[in-house]
Amino acid sequence: MKIRMVQMNPTPGDLEGNIQQMEEALRQAGTDGISLLIFPEMALPGYPPQDLLEQPAFCEASIRASHEFVSRTGDVTVAFGTIEHAPAGSRRPLCNVVTVAREGTRLATAPKQLLPSYDVFNEERYFEPGTNCHWLDLGGYRIGLTVCEDLWHNENESGAHAYHGDPVAGLVSLNPDLVLNLSASPYTRQKHKLRRTVLTRRARELGAPIVYCNQVGAQAELLFEGDSMVVMPDGTVFQSLLPFETGSETVELARGSDRILGKQADDKNEDELERLFRGLVTGIRDYLTKSRASERLILGLSGGIDSALVAVLAAEAVGPERVTALTLPSGFSSPGSVDDSVLLADALGVTLHELSIEEMYDQAVRSLAPLFGDRPFGVAEENVQSRIRGLLLMAMANKFGDLLLTTGNKSELATGYATLYGDMNGGLNPIGDLYKQDVYALSRWINDVWYGREVIPVSILEKAPSAELRPDQTDQDTLPPYDLLDPVLEAYLERRLDLDEIDSMTTLSRATLSKLLSLVDRNEFKRYQAPPILKVTARAFGMGRRWPLVQGWSHNRERFGPTN
């Protein structure tokens, strides 16, 4: 039996486009003599459809489209993810299902049993869970059917959710020859390692291979890497598809001790930074394509590392000929900032324009002087510069129909070291889930590995980070050094450690720590107004962290929090 996994890139709500991808794969499978063709979870309606599922017209159209696709199947058995009406008497109207069909007939429908409601997921909002394990006999082979979370059970990355039932335990007694898992599992930087561990453990419990078919591509903030594969009980992996690329792979199921016949995976592209780079590029490209926002990108180049990295990602996503950059010096900008921006733009081949904001800034300060009086120069004057830059970038984006990319990193967004309506302007932030040290690491990798030459100037990599909004300013005037700051932020945001626990692992003073954690909590109002951020960690700002916009915990932590 020849089995093919299709690692497809659906778009939520694009029923016509998604079915077109599926029908093309089905036609090719018929030509190639494939017995079983597998698509990802909710491949037909697209994942995640979110509150589209609360629109009856969309739900009915999706279900009709699913039935029409079933009617078009021929001698290739097809397993695909879709939605169906829940059984009568259910609390919710829909089920997230895998449908198996052949020759115009539905052979099986298996509802997803474990519905995640943590991190970015909220499936209990829409779906009725399945209650039974499902399998079918296909050519004398006993094949178990599962959907994404059904295999993860209580091994999810967040560590904050638990289920009572275990679909895999229910399948074990059926003694399956093979188990299918149709998945829409979002990418995070450590997910692929955990995924293989979980799949190997579950295959060992089942005593059978698992065919894992995951979607690929980006849906706004969420990235899906694919990583579709066949995992054997002994941990052997067959036909692992390339991350962040559409495609398909075929294996053969045969009786005997070596049940799967196919090419053993060679762990290609296991470099974490390459996987991250591909994911961010995919996120930008798919955001443009799927939202139909624009075909061109624009960004501000400050001469710093963050905007340099975003410029590289933009050029890779749409081609340098479709990227425009502006360098916007003020009286506080160093000559090197403009020169470094020119070097970067030349190396990438992107268009660069220089617009001085000094005259506009001076006029703004003169206009405000009667109201500011004799108050000293401070944050207000600094932010005027950032907001003038944001004004000019947005004007260019509006005039030429470009999408403005924001260039702030996670360290800055976490501590509020960013200006609303200034450097936070834009339609998408590609690096808002990367800490400052991650930005440096990925930038060095880009030079050393991806290009094998100096594209991001060494002068940018080596200069002290600075917003250049006042004389001789550096980030460390306001924040601790990033090699001390980033571990604190990671501990607080990703691992959810609190003040006492973090205090034991850093050389920063307790007073500094308390101030930093309060900065993170108090600046939620800025992040609430930020553009979408591509999610690459388990706790990204936006969909991944739902912090109260108004809350008083930060002020009470020392009094009521845990103590040593």
**Residues annotated as catalytic (active site), given as ranges:** 41, 112, 148
Angle made by CA atoms 223, 224, 227, in degrees to the nearest 5: 145
- CA-CA distance, 492 to 499, in Å (whole number)? 8
Task: Measure the CA–CA gap between 323 and 237, rounded to whole angstroms.
Answer: 40
- Could you tell me if 216 and 252 are in contact, meaning their C-beta atoms sit under 8 angstroms apart? no
Q: Are 81 and 49 in contact (CB under 8 A)?
A: no
286 Cβ neighbours under 8 A, 6+ residues apart? 9, 217, 218, 219
CB 238 within 8 A of CB 244: no
Cβ contact 499:514 at 8 Å: yes
Quick one: residue 345, left, alpha or beta (phi over 0 = left, psi -120 to 50 = alpha)? alpha
Contacts of 132 by beta carbon, 8 Å cutoff, 6+ apart: 170
Residues sharing a CB contact under 8 Å with residue 270, sequence separation 6 or more, in sequence order: 192
- What does the DSSP assignment read for 403-443? EEBP---HHHHHHT-S-TTTTT-SSBBSSTTS-HHHHHHHH
Residues 6+ apart with CB under 8 A from 50: 12, 122
Give yes or no for a contact between 11 and 290, defined as CB atoms under 8 angstroms apart. Answer: yes
Q: What DSSP element (H or E) covers 144?
A: strand 141-147
Dihedrals φ, ψ of 315, to 5°? -60, -40
Distance CA 450, CA 181 (A): 33
d(CA 263, CA 101): 27
Cβ neighbours for 498, distance < 8 A, ≥ 6 positions apart = 492, 557, 561, 562
Read off the tokens for 38. 């597998």
Encoded tokens for 561: 């929090």
Do 184 and 40 touch, CB atoms closer than 8 A? yes
DSSP-derived letter for residue 76 is: S
SS3 label, residue 369 = helix
- Whether cis (ω within 30° of 0) applies to the bond prior to 531 is no
